[in-house]
Copies of this chain bind each other. A is one copy, B any other.
Amino acid sequence: MNGRGVGAPVDLDATSAPLVTVDVDERRLAWAYLSRVVEGPCPALSALIAQVGVVEAARAVRECDLPESLRGPTERRREIDRAERDLETMARVGGRLITPDDPEWPQWRLLGLTQLDPARDVDAAVPLALWARGPLSLQQYTEQSLAVVGARCSTGYGEQATAELAGELAAHGWTIVSGAAFGIDGTAHRAALAVGGFTVAVLACGVDRPYPAQHERLLAEIAETGLVVSEYPPGATAYKHRFLARNRLIAALSEGVLVVEAGVRSGARNTAKWARRLGRPALAVPGPITAAASVGCHRMIRDREAILVTRLEDIHDEVGPLRLSLPTGAGSEPDLSGDQAAVFAELPVVGSRLPRQIADASGLAVASVRAALAGLEVTGLVGADSSGWFRTVRKSG
A residues near B (Cβ < 8 Å) are 157, 160-161, 285-290, 294-295, 298, 301-302, 307-311, 314
Measured between beta carbons, the chain B residues less than 8 angstroms from A311 are: 289
Least CB distance, A286 to chain B, in whole angstroms: 3
Cα–Cα distance between A294 and B290 once the two chains are bound (Å): 14
Measured between beta carbons, the chain B residues less than 8 angstroms from A298 are: 286, 308, 310
Q: Is the CB of B301 within 8 A of A161?
A: no
Identity of the chain B residue whose Cβ is nearest the Cβ of A299 in the assembled complex: B310
Measured between beta carbons, the chain B residues less than 8 angstroms from A285 are: 289
Least CB distance, A28 to chain B, in whole angstroms: 46
Measured between beta carbons, the chain B residues less than 8 angstroms from A286 are: 286-287, 289, 294, 298, 301, 308
Q: Is the CB of B295 within 8 A of A302?
A: no
Q: Within the complex, which residue of B157, B161, B289, B294 is in contact with A161, where a contact is CB–CB below 8 Å?
A: B289
Measured between beta carbons, the chain B residues less than 8 angstroms from A310 are: 289, 295, 298, 302
Cα–Cα distance between A133 and B302 once the two chains are bound (Å): 38
Q: Is the CB of B314 within 8 A of A309?
A: no
Cα–Cα distance between A301 and B298 once the two chains are bound (Å): 11
With most chain B CB atoms within 10 A of its CB, the pick from A290, A298, A307, A310 is: A310
What are 10 residue pairs bridging A and B, where the CB atoms are less than 8 Å apart in the complex? A160-B290, A161-B289, A161-B290, A286-B294, A286-B301, A298-B310, A301-B301, A302-B308, A302-B310, A302-B314
Q: Within the complex, which residue of B157, B308, B314 is in contact with A288, where a contact is CB–CB below 8 Å?
A: B157
With most chain B CB atoms within 10 A of its CB, the pick from A160, A307, A308 is: A308
10 nearest CB pairs, A to B? A286-B286, A289-B310, A302-B308, A301-B308, A298-B310, A161-B289, A288-B288, A157-B288, A298-B308, A285-B289
Q: Within the complex, which residue of B157, B160, B290, B308 is in contact with A308, where a contact is CB–CB below 8 Å?
A: B308
Cα–Cα distance between A286 and B287 once the two chains are bound (Å): 6
